[in-house]
Amino acid sequence: MKLVVVGFGQCGGRIADGFARLNKRARGQRGIEIITGAFAVNTDTADLIGLSTIKADYRHRILIGGEKTRGHGVAKLNEVAAAIAREDGDKVIDAIRSTKRFYETDAFLVVGGSAGGTGSGAVPIMAQMIKERHMDKQVYAIIVLPFEHEEAEKRTIYNTAVCLKSIYSVADAVFLIDNQRYIRKDASLRSNVAKINEMIIEPFYNLLCAGEEKKTKRIGTKVLDAGDIIQTLSGWTAVGHSKSQIGIRLPFGLTSNFMKKSAETHKGVQAMDQTLSELSIQCNPKDAASALYLISAPAQEMNVDLIKELGDYLRDVASEAIIRSGDYPGARGVMNLTVILSQLKDVEKVREYYTKSAGLVEEISKMQQTTASEPSVTEEASKDLPTLL
């Protein structure tokens, strides 16, 4: 599957940059292209300069709202970013259209953090604009939810809720990424967003590559292609990935074929267990109406039993879902498992943002009016003084 990836704001831009690197890796390791274009869009010049892989020209690192913000961002005001995106969005659309292999693109992926200003406000507006102009292609979103420590601030909750509601109504599917879940096991990651970004992006590697493979030895018995992914993705979506070792020599004595096979099958179940416990957002698999898994391991290790066990396990936990699957022959000694749960009818975390922000709407709109119209208390105190200007 080939994507055009457009990241908004700092978080979105960095993740889009990561997808650009993913394409380099696919090209280098496998000789295939999975990203037809990668773009970063921001109201902040400094954040665009900080990227490393997206082409460093104004058509790939796009500044919007330059006249309004002078390139200094929108300081968490997502309604300002939304207005800027509406005004300057055509600049982004034109740039996307100039992608060299645009006609090969299967879908768009827009990315942003929900809690800031630029990503939160621009992602839904741009998703809508892209959708209107390219009705034949799917538009997916990756929305990164804030860390717990950011949630003390009202704006964080409010921006997230408004962004989620808006993007859900325009995108074909929304991948929910809960930042907090990535530091659950390793708190040092809090200060290492680059590492978190790698973890966010990794599940997409095999997923996008599988259907693009050209080499016979890397083509699975059941190829998972763009069609399967498009059929699966809709609405709230969680994604997970695990990597484990496979085909490691067993202890002396456990060498019969039967023992080997059952031990390896057990590995499959373990991997599925681990993947489901590390999904990008906490959810109940029973709430998914569609699901997908892709197993990648050395061809000789992917026996029928292993694949059947994986399918049985997922069918058991995601009992309401239509399940699609694929196998993708990969490197020796490693087993990668990617799982997607989609069309989730309930996501507790999203529901909580909506509930919590309901009480904030009035307060935030009052604050917006205050900053826009009322002079500050300090200025008020100077009203009787003359001015030199």
Ligand X SMILES: Nc1nc2c(ncn2[C@@H]2O[C@H](COP(=O)(O)OP(=O)(O)OP(=O)(O)O)[C@@H](O)[C@H]2O)c(=O)[nH]1
CA distance 319 to 296: 23
* Beta-carbon count within 10 A of 355 CB: 11
The CA–CA distances, whole Å, from 84 to 164, 267, 268 equal: 19, 50, 48
Specify the residue, 7 or 73, whose C-beta has the smaller distance to Mg ion: 73
Please calculate the CA angle 281-287-290 and round it to the nearest 5 degrees: 90
**Per CB under 6 A, does 61 bind ligand X?**
no
Nearer to Mg ion, 116 or 268 (CB): 116
Roughly how many angstroms between the first and final C-alpha of the chain, as a whole number? 61
Considering only residues 96, 115, 302, 335, which one is a binding residue for ligand X as defined by CB under 6 A? 115
Choices 82-90, 116-124, 161-169, 302-310 (CB under 6 A): range interacting with ligand X? 116-124
Binding partner selected for residue 341 from ligand X, Mg ion, none, CB under the kind-specific 5 to 8 Å limit:
none
The listed partner (Mg ion, ligand X, none) that binds 147, CB under 5 to 8 Å by sort, is ligand X
Q: Are 179 and 196 in contact (CB under 8 A)?
A: yes
Please pick, from the candidates 7, 9, 220, 240, the single residue that binds ligand X as defined by CB under 6 A: 9
Instruction: Give the phi and the psi of residue 329 in degrees, each rounded to 5.
Output: -55, 130
Q: Tell which positions 18-57 bind Mg ion, by CB under 5 A.
A: 44
Inter-residue contact 353 to 160 (CB < 8 Å):
yes
- State the binding partner of 179 from Mg ion, ligand X, none, CB within 5 to 8 A by kind: ligand X
User: From the list 7, 73, 203, 326, which residue makes contact with Mg ion (rule: CB under 5 A)?
Assistant: 73
> Taking CB within 5 to 8 Å according to partner kind, which of Mg ion, ligand X, none is near residue 11?
ligand X
Q: What share of the chain is helix, strand, coil (3-state, %, to 5)?
A: 50, 20, 30
Q: Which residue of 7, 65, 119, 285 would you call a contact of ligand X, by CB under 6 A?
A: 119
* Burial class for 30, CB neighbours closer than 10 Å (0-12, 13-18, 19+): middle
The binder of ligand X chosen from 32, 75, 226, 299 (CB under 6 A): 75
Applying CB under 6 A, which part among 110-118, 135-143, 211-219, 318-326 lies near ligand X?
A: 110-118
Q: How many CB atoms lie within 10 A of CB 221?
A: 12
Tokens 């309401």, residue located: 320
Site for ligand X in 179-218 (CB under 6 A): 179, 193, 196-197
* Residues contributing to the site for Mg ion (CB under 5 A): 10, 44, 73
* Residues contributing to the site for ligand X (CB under 6 A): 9-11, 14, 43-44, 73-76, 112-113, 115-119, 144, 146-147, 150, 179, 193, 196-197
